[in-house]
Structure 1
């Protein structure tokens, strides 16, 4: 088989899990799934509907463009499409209870956008009836969360995204370029990302002038286990860029670190700031979960903050929708929390102080 050698690869600045290549007559997207294997990847050829099919490698999936009918399976995908003005393409949605975008929720309620998932159950029949040009979902390698194999066998145009595996905040945001390529909106995606990256870099430079870096720890126990983000995580990078001293910065596990309360207390008893304590939104809720939390200095000084400011009654949280594409706004919140003198006029967007 002869494959065209004409290729122009886009420069990806921060993301590590996707590539975009302009080929002769089509665009090739490569998605990596590093949770499964360093070499695990998926390829998608974006081919204009009016064009003949090119010669492709065996496992390359074909997506016909322009994509007009899109199904989103996770709320993060709503954030990416909203950033580039492509919400009108959505005809179906999963995980509706976690979606925060009012436009999408109104269209779901009116029936304009169809529900394709209830809990963990995916409605394959509804998906087939929608005749989507594209189904956007994520992949982790965990069968409990990933698209069922039987749905893969339907031949529907399913595209996996692994943006959640990015550890740099701008890496996750840069996936807007991937979504731009899928929806023929690359120029809009480039423009959006450049603005976000420039503001993020500017804020990082502001935080770097701080003479003191407050000590920080995160999370809260779930079923007796305290899952602390590792030092090479998205959360740790955010804290570093905001001018904080993350107490587990030296760990490099590529995920969360399972700890008990006693171990966390030994290291974080005198920490300045406590961030993201699970779902708790008040000190009363926090202490009701475990009275030992009162012993943390951060709790005693009312320096506990959670990214739950905009959480909805359904349980959705915009930080996983808008916050993913606007890490600059999340960073501004954290700088204001850690160094209020650097951004004195900033009003918190995603974070709230527990009272």
Structure 2
């Protein structure tokens, strides 16, 4: 494998590694740079707040062969998803390693020249808003055969990324989507050093996240094409007016009875990330609808990122005027659903109480 050059970004230098070539004669060498911070760690007082720009670092950051920890998510969900997601090991990685300090991205490129001007693709991993990470997603094939630069950012999930207390509160929700917006801003400002063209960026992957950015006025100009591989935002199951039900279940599990959002947020910020995640995992069992247990906290109409429900923004023609491909996956999510639904789901023998 070829030596991997050190890349200088506006925030500092980062080292990388050379991936094994894809098994095609025409495949190019691809270089990977893992765990680059695009925002400050969303911990302590920054928990439940919009992402803040990352600080610069001294020296050369090690981006070799170690994926960043995934966002906070329940052990139960990780184990279910892990059964059905292909994971090709290209670096030292642990798909079950999670941490609240998760706002990092990985870059893969076949050409390291600020004059290469290659198309850029930003991948939003699947797993709903309750599971997923950048582990296992790499550019060995897509970059090596299609001559593009791939960016794979992580974003906050579950209550950490989507708890909300109303449009007029200090926590209106959608922090996870704002994480992705900041990752797009990082791409705009840094991708030239990795051989990418900041004026030729395509979003693809998790359809709800992708289409939310197509619709949101806050993301305009940060991308130029979009591909939704699984679902869209104008679905009542994944975009709501508020997350009051899931928030209420979580607070009940934690024994929090306060009504003032600021008092509640202060108590939630004082807890360990592990305790909060365990409480959310237990509170999910309060949901009677098995589908809802998959995404206890989802996108909401927060008045800023989503000023209206997506269906209304679409009706108004208020969305990014970019080429947009919408699709779905064969046997969409069937394996995961079978694990989540109660006995009798496959045969259609659910009781009236269990039925959706």
Instruction: Judge same fold: TM > 0.5, yes or no.
Output: no
> Could you say which structure has the larger radius of gyration?
1
The TM-score by the shorter chain falls in which range?
A: under 0.3
Between Structure 1 and Structure 2, the one with more helix by share is 1
TM-score (structure 2 length as normaliser): 0.24
